[in-house]
Structures are given as structure tokens and as C-alpha cells.
Structure 1
Amino acid sequence: MSVHSVPRGDLSRPAASRTVRRSAVVAGGILISRLTGLVRVVVVGAVLGPTYFANAFVATNMVPNLTYSVIAGPALALVIVPTVVQVLARGGPDVAIRLLGRVSGFLLIASAGLAGLMALVAPVLGWCLSLGISQPSLREQAEQTTTVLVLLVAPQVMLYTLAALGAAAQQAHERFALAAVAPAAENVVLIAAVVVVGVRWGAGLDFADISAGPMVVLGLGSTLAVAVHACLQLFGASRVGLPVRPSLRWRSDPELAAVLRRLRSSISLPLTRSVALYVLLGVASTVPGGVIVVQNAYTVMQVPTALGARAVSTVVLPGLSAAAARDDHSGFAASWRQALSLASITSLPPLLLLTVLAHPLASMLANGQMHSDKLIDQLAACLAVIAVAQFAASVHMVGLDALFARLNTRCPRLASYALLATSLTVTATSLLVPDDQSRLVVLCASLLAGELAGAVTVIFGLRAALRPEGWIDHAQIARAFLACISMVPIVAFGRWFLSVGAISQAGYVIVLGACGLAAIAVYAGAVRISWIGRCP
């Protein structure tokens, strides 16, 4: 299915199957990236150890990505992909390449300015990231070392911008595999740099014994890792016929001005989420171990949404954009119903698994000093709430994509404000309850409430745009719920077995994983049977 030929009316079985296959490819790429990211965290911890220098290295590597979010962040693809799709439909590849070049030229100048500002305030960042060190001499060394690290990673702001533009160009041309898996290359290169430091200079280095060698290898190695990621994304964009060629001829381009207006009005999406999360974690810190509990729950929530709804929305966004560009109302509605159905189908198994297996999963996640009955109970209750939150987040995510496909940024902006206001209200309410399990559960409920508020806002915005077409495929979602029931015996047996058996930690993980995989396999089979029964 090309970006210029989305089928009208209800989507055929081949078109739906193609969307499922492509979503599986994206999910596979995301899974590889997440797994290498997990290895990266493990290797950094193993080589650098629990040291102040490890804190500084990890923190400084987060700064460029956070800075990049100021000019575009996750909203970049939501704005660029529909625009490129519509320009391709109207003017062809040459016009799309010219627009992409002007957008990239402007964003590179903006990102270069932010990278320069980041370099200028490097001493301030070094001072802020060293405040927790009590020894004056060690703190002074930490400030100097952290400042150098910030200078070494500052160019990453521009590299992340290029990587995002390359990925968006591939997505607009319905090529997803390389864009999804490319972040894994960044993780692999950084792992290699950390291993080199461990082999050459030893493990557990701290500011007192750090030298220029390991500092430069880690700083330049992390920047090289992002450069490799960006090069892969740019190669992918060039391969699909949409090379990213930055141009400075953007001052009088009305199309570019419209793109930048949509980008500017979309910045609230990542910012509101970040503010809500930071406030939530701040309140969680009032409970001993609360930040770790809430962070674990939030991380668990991110996995199914990334592998499910994010993969689906990545695949359907070009088709939705093409239908909107042609004024194909029925085709757009059919694509939206398919996206909502697939997002629901991929979100239902995690909902059941996290709800029923919340306590065993919490027991597995709580290790070392965290392995106490009270903290495990807290985390289990949080996971049960997160199970519903990830379902709401999936609906919210695909709804945002559909709105951006119509070049609608007003409703997503309102949804982000609704998410922030609702989340902050529930978070503030948590301060009224005792600082025990109840407060942490209410904090996780603030995540659920925020996602629900955002999902309801985008659904109402879409319903108005879809009339008189139907906005939901009731039959397919009902079949998915029925298929989900087929998982219950396996999940219930796994829950019972883990509660009565004396199993080692390794055996616990194996049984929990086997139970989850078996339940998902049964669910997938039931969904497939119902899908075949529905299609001629």
C-alpha cells in the first residue's frame, strides 16, 4: 500500500494483514532497541559501578536528548510525516525533498543554537550535577569533569535532530524496519566505549582517580554512538528517495512556516508529560522507596505501549495522512477504526497479565533491599493500576496520530493540557492520604487519570471529524475481549502455581515468563481465528 493509495471504505483483509505485519516489524525493531538499551544500563552499572562519576556520566548523557525535546522531541514525526505525505501527493518527491531540506535546515540551526547554549552553561550544569557530593575537593573535581563531559556530548542535540528527521522521512514513505532498529546501533557503540574503558582503565573509576583518557573515550564514544544512529536514519531516508539535504532557503516559504507553527503548538505534548512525571516523582519521594516503586511501575507501563500502540501508530500514520490529503473521508475513518482495533488488541493481554500477575511480577522486580513484603505489596497495587493506564495510553496515542494526520494540532494541545491538569490534581490529592501504600497507588492512579483525560479529549475531537462514519469497530473489539478470556485459565494457573510453590528466583522468572508467553500465544491464536472468521 503506497502513501498515495489508501483503500476506500472498510479495509480489506490483505490491507489489514499488511498493517499487522508492518506493526510486527516495528515492534520487533523497538524490542531490539529496548533490549540493547537494557544491556547498556547493565554494562554501564557493571563497569562504572555505584560511583559519583557514574552518576555524572549517565546524567550528562540525558541532557542532549532533553534539550532536543525543547525544539521538537517526540512531536517531530507527528508533524513531519503527515506534511511530507500530503506534499508527496500534491507535488511529488522533488517538492517533498525541498520542503524536508528547508525544515531540516531550520531545525539544525535551532539545534546548533541550543547545543551552543548547552556548551556555554556547561559549568552551571557541572555545578548542579555535583551538588550532592559533600567533600569540597571531590566536588570541585566533579564539577570540572562533568563540565568537560557536557562539552563532549553537546553536539548530540544536532545529531538527535538529524536522526529524527531521517526516521520521519522513512515513515512517510512507509519504510519502518531500519528506523525502528537504528537506535540499537547507538546502544551497541556506547556499550563498546564503556567496555573499552573497563578493559583499559579498570572498573569502578570515580572522580578522585579519573584521568583524561577514560573521560574522553566515554564522552566522544557516546557522541559517536548518536552519530552512528543518525547516519543510519539518514541512509534510510536517502534509500527511500527522500534524502535530508539541509537548506537555508526557508525564510519566505509559507509551507515551512505552517510546519513550524504546528511544531511550536505541539511542544506542549512532551513538556506536559515531563512536568506531570517530575511532579509525581517528587511527591513519591515523600514515601521511603516510593520513587523506585513508581519508576518501576512507569517503566512496566512503557513496554507494552511501545511494542503495541506505538508500533501500530507508526505504521498507520502515513495511510491516515494520505486519506486526509485526498479528502477520502470513508478511507480515513476505516484506517482509524483499524488503528483503534489493533491498539486495543495489543493492549488487552498486558491489561490482563499485569492485573492478575501483579504480585508475582512485583516480587520479581523488587530485589535486594527492595525485597520486603510492604514494598512488594505497594508495587503490586501500582502495577494493577498501571495495567489499565497502558490501555488508556494506547488509545490516547493512536488518537493523537489520527488528529495530526489531519494537521489538527489544537485538539492534541487541549489533550495535553487535560492530561497535565488531571494528573496534577490527582497527584496533589495523594498528599492527603497517609504515606504508605495508599499514597503510591494514588500516584499511579494519577498516570491513569491523565491518560484517560487525554484519550477522552482526542476521541471527542475525532468523533466530530468522523461523522457520519462510525468511529469504532464494535465487533472486532468485542472479539478481542472474548479472545482475552481464553488467557484466563493459563494466567490463573500461573498465579496459583507461583503462590504455592517454593521456587528459586531463577525458576520464578522462568515460570512467570512461560506463563506470559503461553497466555499470549493462546490469545494470538484466538484473535487469528476470529479474524479469519470475519474475513471472506
Structure 2
Amino acid sequence: MEGDGVTNTKTSTSGLARHGAVMAAGTLISRITGFLRNVVIGAALGTMVGDAYVTAQYFPQMVYELVMGGVLTSVVVPLIVRARKEDFDQGEAFTQRLLTLAVVLLAASTACVVAAAPLLARLMGSDDNREVVTSLSYLMLPALFFYGLSAMLQAVLNTREHFAAPMWAPILNNLVIIAMGGAFFVLYSSKISGDLELSDVTGPMLLLLGLGVPAGVLVQSLAMWPALRKVGFRWKWRFDFRELHLSKIAKLAGWIFLYVAVNQIAVVTAIKVANLAAAGSDDNPGPIVYNNAYAVMMMAHGIVAVSVITALMPRLSAAASEGRYSDMAAGLSSGTRLATLVMMPVVVVYIALGSQLSIVMFDWGKYGRDAATATGLVMALGGLALIPFSLSQLQTFAFYSLTDGKTVAILNIPVVAVRVLGFGLSLALLPGIYVVAGIMVTLGISYVVSTTLSTIFLRRRIGLLGMRAVVLTWVRQLIAGAAALAAAWGALAFLPGVDEAGKGVMLAELLGVGALILVVYLGVAYVLRIREITELTSMVRGKFGR
């Protein structure tokens, strides 16, 4: 028996490691292909048509988030897990009812939203691009149905401990969009000299651009069906929705729906303000510049900070469920220090090398040097917002581990109010060329507000958060970051500027100065005895027997 127990433990451990490796690889490749998707779309469409495309593309994602996005992770997955544990059929019938209801609601919602495409275009577009945005919206909005279906299938697979297909399926979506953008460039963009104007867009162009979005999400959904069969789940229509106890689901989902709905107000305002700033001018950045800079910021957060949050969440959830609030506070303190530690050199890279990074990544095809340079400025400001954003996300997950969606939803209202006010002031007070930069600064300020409010309310719930240790660590990290930034600017003073250098030289600058930033940051952090750095150094030295 003991032998069997050891074997099972080893098998479980190796399986967990294998799933972890698959998920890590899938996340990395998904981020990379998502970034390439943005690059290809920018190169194929340029800024004016790209602004219309990005505006229309936001619609299905925005409505999906409003209808189902936040509810899935916070309500649907726990309900399926509970049904698998408590029902005699391991939740099979419950899951089938839930999927049937989701399909019905998604179909009805999609039909209503497609009919409202002109209203959505008026809400978020400008007078210049409204016609193109409306046409694209009619074609893109059906993707809402497949977004929701894909998310439901992902939830079913995750509750059956199958993670590979949900992690890799979005990569297929990205590849479809990349292929669509490449086809558009070959068929149309390469044959038009100069910028691609809104007046250049024809019916076939709209069909190719618009249908690419639902096609990508459809492929993403279909890719999960073989995995569903593999885990033994079979689709069956069940319309006995009373067995779902919908009032209970609605009660659980209410606060999450409020949180998501309020967030969408900020999204709509940001895209509207960016469109108004870009209207009537070829020089003013618009939604595509904002979207590209934000995507780069999120890529850094997704690869670096999410790893810290993911590793910390089981500890927070376990401590919260057992009432060990002091342990939860200690975990939050440790996670906060570690998140800022790993994000600080990334912030320095964005600030010092934002222009070089943006030009190397985005200055291709119709997305010219001016647009790439503007993206670099917004990206640098996004770097300043990166740490507050990551900390606000960490604290939001802490509230969720306490099963407290109400506080998250209520605190989000003043945060979104700050965003909407800041977006409006950016449009009213700043020159058009800096409005999108103002949007990014506003986001950073709102994340600081969110982190401050969450800290105050978390302290009331779980006690002292060790902020003295956190602040002392932050001061040392800021000194290390400032030293790395000074070293980077000193090196760049002797190197060709962005107006003189080609992409090859800029790439060399990114590699060389980026390495300098990392070395100086780690060196100063070690001298200042930042605990996490000394622990990491001791661990590495121990590996080599020193």
C-alpha cells in the first residue's frame, strides 16, 4: 500500500508539473502571438483605418465582458465544481443545463447587439470613422456568441482539470487574425502608396477585416471540442432551467456584474476620447496607438506580475478560508514587495527605451515612424502605471479570496470616476497629439487610487499589512531603479538617437542598455540589502555549492 501511495504521489506531482509547464508555455506563446497580431494589424491598416478597426473590435469584447466575462470565473466555475462534488452524476446534467442557458442568452444578446451596431458606433467612434466602424461592427459583433461559448467550454475543461486546450486555443485565434492581416496587406495595403485612408476602404476590404474576428473566435471554440470529448463530457440540450436555481446565480453574480459594467464605462470613454482626439488630423494618435501601448504594458504584467499573483493566490485563499488573517496579511506584504521588485526594471526599460522599443516593434508597413514614436511615449507612461496596476490586481484577488465581491465593486466606482474625469480633462486641456498620453497617465493615477483604497479596506478586514516593511522596501527599490535609469540615460547620451539610428542599431541599444539596466538594478538592490534579492542570491549561490 505504501508503494502504491508513493507511486500515486509521484504521478500526481509529475502531472501537476506537466500541466504547469504546458500552461506556462501556452501563456507565453499566446502573449507573443497576441503582440504579433497587433503588429500585423498596424502594418496592414495604418492609423486611420486602424483606429476604426480597433474601435469596432472592442465592441464584442466589451459586451462579452459585460454579459459574461467576470461572472464566469467568480460564479460559474465554482458552481460547476460544487455540482461535480455533490451531484450523483458528477455535475453532468447541471453543466449541460448551464451550457444550454448560456447558448440561448448568448444568441439573444448577440442578435440585439448586432442590431444596435449603429448606436455603438455613435457611442465610441467619431464623425470621421463612424461609417467604417458601423460596417465593421455588423461583421465583428457575431464574435460575441463565440467568445461566450469559448469561455463556457474553457470553464468546463478547467473544472475537469484539463488546461492545455483552453491555454492553447486562443493562440489559434491570434493566428487567424495574423493571417487575415497578412492577406489584407498583400491584397490591398501593398498596392496603395502612402497612408491608407478611410475613403480607400471598399466592400471586400470590410468583409476581410470584419469576418476575421468572428472566424478567429470560432476556430478557438472548435479547438476545444476534442478536449471535451477526451474528458468524457457530451453535449446535450437541457431546458429545465429551474434546476439551476437562477435566483442564487443572479445573487452571486450581481456585484461582479456591477464591477464589470462600471469598468466598461471607462473603456467606452477612453476609446471615444481617443477617436475624438484623432478626428480630423493625421498626426494625432488615436485608439490603435493607445491599444498597442496598452497591449505592451499588459504583456509585461501577464508574463511577470501574473506569475507572482498566481503563485500567491492558493496561499491567500487557504489563509482566508481558515481565518488566518495574519498569514494572509504577511502573504500580501510579501507578494507586494516581490511584484514591485520584478516589475521595477521593466518600468525602467519602458521609460528609458520606450521609443526604441516601439519603433523596433511597430514601425512596419503602414504604421509609420511617427505613429511608432507616439506609441513609444504612451508606452513609457504605461510603464509608470505598470506597478500600481499590478498591485491593484493583487489586492482585487485578495478580496476575491475573502469571497468579497461587494467591496471590489463599490471601490471600483470612485476609481472609474477618476478615469472618466481624467479622460475628459485630457481631451479638453491637452493638445490633440498628447491626448492619448493623457489617457495613459489617467489610468496610472486611477490604479494608485485603487491601490490606496484597497489597502485601507483590506487593513480593516485582515489587520496590519506590514506597510512599514513594504514602504522601506519600496524606497530601496526606487533608489535601485533610479540608479538603473541614470545609467541607461548616461549610456544613451553616447549612442545614436532615434532620429539617426536604424532599427538594427536600435535593437542593439535595446539589448545592450537593457542588460545594463538589469545589472545596475540588481547590483544596487544587493548593496542596499533588499531582502528578496539577497534571498535570491543565496539560493543561486547554494545551487553552485558556494
TM-score > 0.5 by shorter chain: yes
CA distance in 1, matches of 2:271, 2:330: 35
Alignment partner of 1:509 out of 507, 510, 531: 507
Cα deviation digits, residues 242-280 of structure 1 (max 9, x gap): 7776643323433x4333333232123333333334445
Q: Which residue in 2 is equivalent to 1:228?
A: 219
- Go from structure 1 to structure 2 and tell me whether the alpha carbon gap of 1:480 and 1:359 turns closer, same or farther (over 3 Å shift): closer
- Go from structure 1 to structure 2 and tell me whether the alpha carbon gap of 1:123 and 1:379 turns closer, same or farther (over 3 Å shift): closer
Cα deviation digits, residues 467-519 of structure 1 (max 9, x gap): 5xx65598799779868877776654333222222254422233224443565
* Contact residue 277 and residue 427 of structure 2 kept, 8 A: no
1:494 aligns with 2:491: no
Counterpart mapping for 1:325-404 below 5 A: 327-330=321-324, 334=327, 337-338=330-331, 341-342=334-335, 344-355=337-348, 358-362=351-355, 364-365=357-358, 368=368, 370=370, 386-404=382-400
Q: Answer with 73-82 or 286-295: which moved more.
A: 286-295
Cα deviation digits, residues 413-466 of structure 1 (max 9, x gap): 012113112334455665786659998776544322321232233344444443
SS in 2 for 1:251: helix
Aligned positions, number: 499
1:43 aligns with 2:40: yes
What residue identity is the alignment partner of 1:179?
A: P
CA distance in 2, matches of 1:321, 1:270: 22
- Go from structure 1 to structure 2 and tell me whether the alpha carbon gap of 1:315 and 1:75 turns closer, same or farther (over 3 Å shift): farther
* Contact residue 170 and residue 236 of structure 1 kept, 8 A: yes
* Contact residue 171 and residue 314 of structure 1 kept, 8 A: no
CA distance in 2, matches of 1:211, 1:289: 27
- Go from structure 1 to structure 2 and tell me whether the alpha carbon gap of 1:399 and 1:196 turns closer, same or farther (over 3 Å shift): same
- Go from structure 1 to structure 2 and tell me whether the alpha carbon gap of 1:396 and 1:291 turns closer, same or farther (over 3 Å shift): same
- Go from structure 1 to structure 2 and tell me whether the alpha carbon gap of 1:343 and 1:384 turns closer, same or farther (over 3 Å shift): same
- Go from structure 1 to structure 2 and tell me whether the alpha carbon gap of 1:304 and 1:44 turns closer, same or farther (over 3 Å shift): closer
Q: Which residue in 2 is equivalent to 1:308?
A: 304
CA distance in 2, matches of 1:348, 1:321: 23
- Go from structure 1 to structure 2 and tell me whether the alpha carbon gap of 1:460 and 1:108 turns closer, same or farther (over 3 Å shift): farther
1:111 aligns with 2:106: yes
CA distance in 2, matches of 1:23, 1:511: 34
CA distance in 2, matches of 1:425, 1:365: 28
What residue identity is the alignment partner of 1:33?
A: S
1:165 aligns with 2:159: no
CA distance in 2, matches of 1:93, 1:298: 46
- Go from structure 1 to structure 2 and tell me whether the alpha carbon gap of 1:64 and 1:439 turns closer, same or farther (over 3 Å shift): closer
- Go from structure 1 to structure 2 and tell me whether the alpha carbon gap of 1:494 and 1:21 turns closer, same or farther (over 3 Å shift): farther
CA distance in 1, matches of 2:343, 2:259: 25
- Go from structure 1 to structure 2 and tell me whether the alpha carbon gap of 1:439 and 1:198 turns closer, same or farther (over 3 Å shift): closer
Cα deviation digits, residues 104-145 of structure 1 (max 9, x gap): 3333222111111133345666899795279xxxx7xx69xx
Q: Which residue in 2 is equivalent to 1:101?
A: 96
Q: Percent identity?
A: 21
CA distance in 2, matches of 1:19, 1:450: 37
CA distance in 2, matches of 1:396, 1:106: 33
* Contact residue 351 and residue 387 of structure 1 kept, 8 A: no
- Go from structure 1 to structure 2 and tell me whether the alpha carbon gap of 1:100 and 1:119 turns closer, same or farther (over 3 Å shift): same
What residue identity is the alignment partner of 1:68?
A: Y
CA distance in 2, matches of 1:442, 1:122: 28
What residue identity is the alignment partner of 1:512?
A: L
CA distance in 2, matches of 1:23, 1:464: 35
Q: Which residue in 2 is equivalent to 1:265?
A: 255
- Go from structure 1 to structure 2 and tell me whether the alpha carbon gap of 1:460 and 1:242 turns closer, same or farther (over 3 Å shift): farther
1:418 aligns with 2:414: yes
What residue identity is the alignment partner of 2:514?
A: G
- Go from structure 1 to structure 2 and tell me whether the alpha carbon gap of 1:432 and 1:203 turns closer, same or farther (over 3 Å shift): closer
CA distance in 1, matches of 2:121, 2:273: 26
Q: CA deviation at 1:188?
A: 0.8
Counterpart mapping for 1:14-29 below 5 A: 26=23, 28-29=25-26
CA distance in 1, matches of 2:313, 2:225: 20
Alignment partner of 2:241 out of 246, 250, 260: 250
- Go from structure 1 to structure 2 and tell me whether the alpha carbon gap of 1:363 and 1:510 turns closer, same or farther (over 3 Å shift): closer
- Go from structure 1 to structure 2 and tell me whether the alpha carbon gap of 1:208 and 1:434 turns closer, same or farther (over 3 Å shift): closer
Q: CA deviation at 1:227?
A: 1.6
Cα deviation digits, residues 338-384 of structure 1 (max 9, x gap): 46634642443433442476143235436656389xx87x965x666
* Contact residue 93 and residue 241 of structure 1 kept, 8 A: no
* Contact residue 51 and residue 286 of structure 2 kept, 8 A: no
Which consecutive unaligned segments of at least 5 residues does structure 1 have? 1-17
SS in 2 for 1:267: helix
CA distance in 2, matches of 1:432, 1:63: 25
Q: Which residue in 1 is equivalent to 2:525?
A: none
- Go from structure 1 to structure 2 and tell me whether the alpha carbon gap of 1:123 and 1:299 turns closer, same or farther (over 3 Å shift): closer
Q: CA deviation at 1:160?
A: 0.6
* Contact residue 27 and residue 308 of structure 1 kept, 8 A: no
CA distance in 2, matches of 1:457, 1:245: 46
CA distance in 2, matches of 1:277, 1:449: 16
* Contact residue 355 and residue 383 of structure 1 kept, 8 A: no
Cα deviation digits, residues 15-50 of structure 1 (max 9, x gap): xxx999988865643332232123223334445567
What residue identity is the alignment partner of 2:358?
A: L
Q: CA deviation at 1:400?
A: 2.0
* Contact residue 178 and residue 236 of structure 1 kept, 8 A: yes
Which consecutive unaligned segments of at least 5 residues does structure 2 have? 1-14, 193-197, 523-531
CA distance in 1, matches of 2:290, 2:118: 32
Q: TM-score, normalised by structure 1?
A: 0.72
* Contact residue 51 and residue 204 of structure 1 kept, 8 A: no
Counterpart mapping for 1:186-205 below 5 A: 186-196=173-183
CA distance in 2, matches of 1:436, 1:201: 30
Q: Which residue in 1 is equivalent to 2:73?
A: 77
CA distance in 2, matches of 1:101, 1:202: 46
Q: Which residue in 1 is equivalent to 2:195?
A: none
* Contact residue 319 and residue 327 of structure 2 kept, 8 A: no
* Contact residue 266 and residue 416 of structure 2 kept, 8 A: yes
What residue identity is the alignment partner of 1:341?
A: S
Alignment partner of 1:34 out of 31, 34, 43: 31
* Contact residue 262 and residue 412 of structure 2 kept, 8 A: yes
- Go from structure 1 to structure 2 and tell me whether the alpha carbon gap of 1:67 and 1:276 turns closer, same or farther (over 3 Å shift): closer
* Contact residue 341 and residue 477 of structure 2 kept, 8 A: no
Counterpart mapping for 1:85-164 below 5 A: 85=81, 91=86, 94-122=89-117, 131-132=127-128, 147=135, 150-164=137-151
Q: Which residue in 1 is equivalent to 2:11?
A: none
